[in-house]
Amino acid sequence: MQKLPKTPNIKRLHWHLRKRLYIGGLIFTHMQPDYILRIDCPDEKGLVYKITGVLYHNDLNIIRNDEFVDRTTGYFFMRTEFSGQTQPEKILSGLRGMLPNGVNIALTTNQTKNVVILATKEHHCLSDLLVRGAFRDLNMNVLAVVSNHDTLQSLAEKFNVPFHCVPHENRDRETHEAEVLSVIRQYPANYLILAKYMRVLTPAFTAHFPNRIVNIHHSFLPAFIGANPYRQAFDRGVKIVGATAHFVNENLDEGPIIMQDVIRVDHSKTAVEMAQAGRDVEKIVLAKALKLVLEDRIFIKDNKTVIFE
């Protein structure tokens, strides 16, 4: 067996681990990973060397590696894509035996995620996600759409996606959420997506899905709160409109931020045009955020995210 370099030289180790596939004289190095490994822990010397060494000694091929150390907190993050045949528990056991106390290790297969989408009446985010899901632009299966109105039912049915209308009228919030939860539990969803779902979720509901609910909203919060934020923004004469995608926690709109973007507007835009521009940004930001989530590119630490794009 070839020995590892004596110093933790990650470039040299990647050279040993990389296997080339020769076809017609071409070298193909862009391979699909079988596994995605995510590790975060207090930083110390030699972490990259130790982690990649475990993969090397199990005859596994690293396809991509990203690491980051937060110099403020002294915390280490690493995401590794690798391929090969192995027993996951063997890899996990080897890693736990040499990494610091308090380490978080997630080893996942490169598989399509299942999602349930919650929406209300606005179609722009839902329609975009249904198209992207149907054409595999996003690594997800849309299992169902749940709404408190039937406005979007025909849209979901065009994509042969089950639609569940759970009205909120004449129900208190807890009763309505219990009914929504009962519907969601019919499906093996990895994530819930709030595609302009205009209901405030309680901490009791979100506690069922820690770091598994993704929301999109306009980036005027907390400045313009309410049902017509773009009209308020127009009246104020704002010069940018934007959107924020984030994980949902007990504070709803204050969860860890995944993706944000803005576009510039000026005095020539009407309130209607400004709202349309905002909707365009919202659906793009949500799609970009979901790509990161579905590809296991995100770490969450202290209500912040570390993302390897």
Please, where are the H alpha helices in the chain?
Answer: 10-17, 47-57, 88-96, 124-134, 153-158, 173-184, 203-206, 229-236, 271-294
Ramachandran area for residue 172 (φ above 0: left; ψ -120 to 50: alpha; else beta): beta
59 is annotated as an active-site residue: no
Q: Which amino acid is at 149?
A: H
For residue 72, the surrounding DSSP H or E stretch is: none
Rounded Cα gap, residues 179 and 168, in angstroms: 10
Pair 224, 233: CB distance under 8 Å: yes
**Buried b / exposed e along 170-187 (16+ C-beta atoms within 10 A):** eeeeeebbebbeebbeeb
Instruction: State the number of CA atoms in the 13 A half-sphere of 235 facing the CB.
Output: 7
From the list 43, 66, 70, 253, the catalytic residue is 253
Q: How far apart are CA 154 and CA 50, in angstroms?
A: 53
Residue 308, token pair as written in the block: 């390897």
Give the amino acid at 145.
Answer: V
Own/partner pairs for 24-31, CB < 8 Å, 24+ apart?
A: 31/61, 31/63, 31/83
CA distances from residue 100 to 36, 39, 47, 158 in whole angstroms, order as listed: 20, 11, 9, 51
Alpha carbons 225 and 126: distance in angstroms, whole number: 22
For residue 145, which of 128, 124, 162, 120 has the smallest C-alpha distance? 162
Query: Which of the residues are catalytic?
Result: 253
